[in-house]
Amino acid sequence: MIELRSDVLTVGVVPHGARLARLVAPDRDGVPGEVVLGLAEDAYPGDRAYLGATVGRFANRIAGGRFVLDGREHRVPCNEPRTALHGGPVGLDHADFAAGEVRSSPGGQCVTLRHRHGGDGFPGTLDVAVTYTARGPELHIGILAVTDAATVVNLTNHAYFHLGGGGPVGGHEVRVFADRYLPVDDDLIPTGELAPVGGTPFDLRSPARIDAGLAADHPQLGVAGGYDHTFVLDGSGPVAGELRAAAHVREPGRGRTLTVFTDQPGVQFYSGNMLDGTVTLHDGRRAGYREAFCLEPQHFPDSPNRPEFPSTVLRPGEERRTRILLRLGMD
């Protein structure tokens, strides 16, 4: 494992899947604690929950594992009954990245991992570089992709967060800077509607406890088993340079906060609905039902089949960048 440090954070990165495996931050009393779920390093090749992984080549779902690009149909093997999730059965989450040297700079450290990825039904060979930079209370994640043939690309990080140290995350207070979200069908594929959040448990424009939203009687929560939806960012939150806030989370018990900034059009909020106690963490604990949540900045699911969604097409000579900033704080 590669260790990075700033004067506030300790970060662990695993080359298998270019994963965020550790993120240690202080609580309001100055006591450091782990805020992401991580495995023993030798357990990642068997992971199927995408813990901390760089996911792609297409994060989230493609309906039927098929799409048409430039008049030609492409098929990605499905790893769910009727969808290709996070790039299919063997995506970037199980690619072995080559890590560069850890570089120090004022206030922190960074490392870049690289991998060339081809196949899985996607056209072209993708050259991917993932850079982790720890600086003060911030972890910057930069993902850069280039291709040698026209393809579709949607890359993100799939960290599972828990700001309180363990147990259900229902008491976390979440705010998402989005006035619309994407309803999904029974396969968790967007219907195409960009639905207003007003009057629904998806209205997280003001801070709300996760468990309060999950307790609401709404058909979309039933379809997904909780929150597992893309929110359409509206730019209403604070900014960090060229990045805009996607979400802010507060855990009242320990007082930790997390603000997620990005340059992507959406963020997937997932309430850990499929955690079932079968994932054993590095400290021997098992990750139970809804004991972590994910905030995954990304393009919209099934975009290759939805011309009305922002394009995910990448062509030779172009670059596709995903920038994510995780800012830890105390309240």
For residue 188, what are the contacts with CB-CB under 8 A and spacing of at least 6? 61, 83, 223, 224, 228, 301
178 labelled binding-site residue: no
Token representation of residue 211: 């468990």
Please answer whether residues 39 and 22 qualify as being in contact, where contact means their C-beta atoms are separated by less than 8 angstroms.
Answer: no
228 labelled binding-site residue: yes
Give residue for tokens 């009727």.
Answer: 82
Token representation of residue 35: 């805020």
Nearest to 86 by CA among 182, 155, 135: 155
Annotation marks residue 41 as catalytic: no
Beta bridge partners of 206: none
Token representation of residue 58: 């297409």
Please answer whether residues 299 and 217 qualify as being in contact, where contact means their C-beta atoms are separated by less than 8 angstroms.
Answer: no
305 labelled binding-site residue: no
Annotation marks residue 158 as catalytic: yes
SS3 84: strand
Q: Which of 115, 117, 296, 299 is catalytic?
A: 296
d(Cα 267, Cα 320) in Å, to the nearest integer?
A: 17
d(Cα 181, Cα 244) in Å, to the nearest integer?
A: 17
Give residue for tokens 């991917």.
Answer: 128
Token representation of residue 92: 């970037």
44 labelled binding-site residue: no
60 labelled binding-site residue: yes
Q: Which of 158, 162, 229, 248 is catalytic?
A: 158
For residue 112, what are the contacts with CB-CB under 8 A and spacing of at least 6? 99, 100, 129, 130, 131
Please answer whether residues 218 and 199 qualify as being in contact, where contact means their C-beta atoms are separated by less than 8 angstroms.
Answer: no
Please answer whether residues 14 and 143 qualify as being in contact, where contact means their C-beta atoms are separated by less than 8 angstroms.
Answer: no
287 labelled binding-site residue: no
Q: Which residues are annotated as a binding site?
A: 60-61, 158-160, 228
Residues recognised as catalytic = 158, 296
Q: Which residues are annotated as a binding site for beta-D-galactose?
A: 60-61, 158-160, 228
